[in-house]
Chain A
Amino acid sequence: MRARPVAASLAVLGYIIMIVPILFVVVTAFSAGRTLRFPPQGFSLTWFEAAVTYDPFMESLVSSLYLAAGATVLALLLGVPATIAIHRGKIPGKGLIEGLFLSPLIVPELVVGLALYQQLMIGLGLDNLSTLLLGHTALLLPYAVRVTGASLALADPAVEEAARGLGAGPVRAFLTVTLPLLRPGLFSAALLGFVTSFNNVPLSLLLQDREFRTLPVTMLDYVQQSYNPRIAAMATLILAATVVVAVIAERTVGFARIFGGINQ
Chain B
Amino acid sequence: MSPAAEFIGVTQRFGDFTAVDAIDLEIPEGKLTTLLGPSGCGKTTSLRMLAGYSRPTSGTIRIHGVDSTTLPPEKRGLGMVFQSYALFPHLTVAENVGYGLKLRKLPRAAVQQKVEETLELVGLAHLHKSKPKKLSGGQQQRVALARAIAIRPRLLLLDEPLSNLDARLRVQMRTELRRIQAETGLTVVLVTHDQDEALEMSDLMVLMRGGKIMQTGTPREVFSRPANRFVADFLGYENFLTDQTHTFSTVRPEHLILGAASDGSAALRLDATVVSTAYRGVDLLVTLDAVDGAGETVRLLADVRAGDGAGLTPGTRTTVSAAAAHLVPIAA
Please list the residues of chain A having a beta carbon within 8 angstroms of any beta carbon in chain B. 156, 158-159, 161-170, 172-173, 176-177, 180-181
Determine whether B208 belongs to the interface, using a CB cutoff of 8 Å to chain A.
no
Known contacts A161-B53, A161-B73: A166-B82 contact under CB 8 Å: no
Structural contact, A158 and B82, CB atoms closer than 8 A = yes
Contacts of B89 in A (CB 8 A): 159, 181
Structural contact, B86 and A161, CB atoms closer than 8 A = yes
- Within 8 Å by CB of A161, from B76, B79, B82, B151, lies B82
**Min C-beta distance of B2 to chain A, whole Å:** 23
Contacts of B53 in A (CB 8 A): 161, 164-165
Known contacts A159-B88, A177-B88, A181-B89: A164-B82 contact under CB 8 Å: no
Contacts of B76 in A (CB 8 A): 165
Q: Which 6 A-B pairs have CB atoms at the shortest separation, nearest pair first?
A: A166-B100, A158-B86, A167-B103, A162-B86, A164-B73, A158-B82
Structural contact, B151 and A166, CB atoms closer than 8 A = yes
Contacts of A164 in B (CB 8 A): 52-53, 72-74
In the docked arrangement, what's the CA distance between A177 and B79, Å? 17
Structural contact, B79 and A172, CB atoms closer than 8 A = no
The secondary-structure label for the interface of chain B is loop
Known contacts A156-B84, A158-B86, A177-B88: A163-B79 contact under CB 8 Å: no
Contacting A at CB under 8 A, from B20-74, are 51-53, 72-74
Contacts of A161 in B (CB 8 A): 53, 73, 80, 82, 86
- Within 8 Å by CB of B100, from A159, A167, A169, A170, lies A167
Contacts of B83 in A (CB 8 A): 158
Determine whether B78 belongs to the interface, using a CB cutoff of 8 Å to chain A.
yes
Determine whether B329 belongs to the interface, using a CB cutoff of 8 Å to chain A.
no
The secondary-structure label for the interface of chain A is helix
In the docked arrangement, what's the CA distance between A199 and B79, Å? 51
Contacts of A168 in B (CB 8 A): 74, 99, 103
A162 to chain B: closest residue by CB: B86
In the docked arrangement, what's the CA distance between A13 and B16, Å? 55
What would be 22 A-B contacts, judged by CB atoms less than 8 Å apart? A158-B83, A159-B86, A159-B87, A159-B89, A161-B53, A161-B82, A162-B86, A162-B88, A162-B147, A164-B52, A165-B51, A165-B52, A165-B73, A165-B76, A165-B79, A166-B100, A167-B104, A170-B72, A176-B99, A177-B88, A181-B89, A181-B90
Contacts of B51 in A (CB 8 A): 165
A164 to chain B: closest residue by CB: B73
Determine whether B137 belongs to the interface, using a CB cutoff of 8 Å to chain A.
no
B78 to chain A: closest residue by CB: A165
Most buried by A among B73, B77, B82, B148: B73
In the docked arrangement, what's the CA distance between A161 and B86, Å? 8
**Min C-beta distance of B23 to chain A, whole Å:** 22
Known contacts A181-B89, A181-B90: A167-B82 contact under CB 8 Å: no
In the docked arrangement, what's the CA distance between A156 and B84, Å? 8
In the docked arrangement, what's the CA distance between A133 and B103, Å? 41
Please give 13 more A-B residue pairs, beta carbons under 8 A apart, in addition to A156-B86, A159-B86, A164-B72. A159-B88, A161-B73, A161-B82, A163-B88, A164-B52, A165-B76, A166-B103, A166-B148, A167-B77, A167-B103, A169-B72, A180-B90, A181-B90
Structural contact, B80 and A172, CB atoms closer than 8 A = no
Contacts of A163 in B (CB 8 A): 88, 99
Contacts of B103 in A (CB 8 A): 166-168, 172
A158 to chain B: closest residue by CB: B86
Contacting A at CB under 8 A, from B147-180, are 147-148, 151
A159 to chain B: closest residue by CB: B86
**Min C-beta distance of A62 to chain B, whole Å:** 36
In the docked arrangement, what's the CA distance between A162 and B100, Å? 10
Contacts of B88 in A (CB 8 A): 159, 162-163, 177
In the docked arrangement, what's the CA distance between A176 and B51, Å? 21
Contacts of A167 in B (CB 8 A): 74, 77, 100, 103-104, 151
In the docked arrangement, what's the CA distance between A73 and B204, Å? 55
A161 to chain B: closest residue by CB: B53
